[in-house]
Amino acid sequence: MHGAVELYQKATGGGIKPLLGCEVYIAKRSMHEKHSKKNGNGYSHLTLLARNNEGYKNLVKLTSAGFVDGYHFKPRIDMDLLRDHASGISCLSGCLAG
């Protein structure tokens, strides 16, 4: 989410309504367990978009938690954390790995 505020300010200043969001990695079981496809805790990814200010704040919480608490090869979150901070967020599965 680094640079999101600057992007938003410059885009709106130029008459463009930006969509703020990010791609996150979702641990299959828990972000607190080590990443292991063999043991059933691999990951998939999702694109999360903020619909409003609450969604933006939740994206910041999710991405911060992924780096601080869920980092194992990649910054990961899990469904429990996403469920707790889903308000104001739209989710896109996107590709085959999503």
Nearest CA among 5, 76, 86, 75 for reference residue 48: 86
pTM: 0.88
Count how many Cα atoms sit within 13 Å of the Cα of residue 16 in the half-sphere of its side chain. Answer: 9
The Cα–Cα gap between 30 and 55 comes to 22
Give yes or no for a contact between 98 and 45, defined as CB atoms under 8 angstroms apart: yes
The Cα–Cα gap between 49 and 56 comes to 8
Which residues have a Cβ under 8 Å from the Cβ of 79 and sit 6 or more positions away? 26
Domains of the chain, residue spans: 19-92
Percent of the chain with pLDDT over 70: 97
pLDDT tens digits, residue range 28-66? Answer: 999 999 999 889 999 999 999 999 999 999 999 999 999
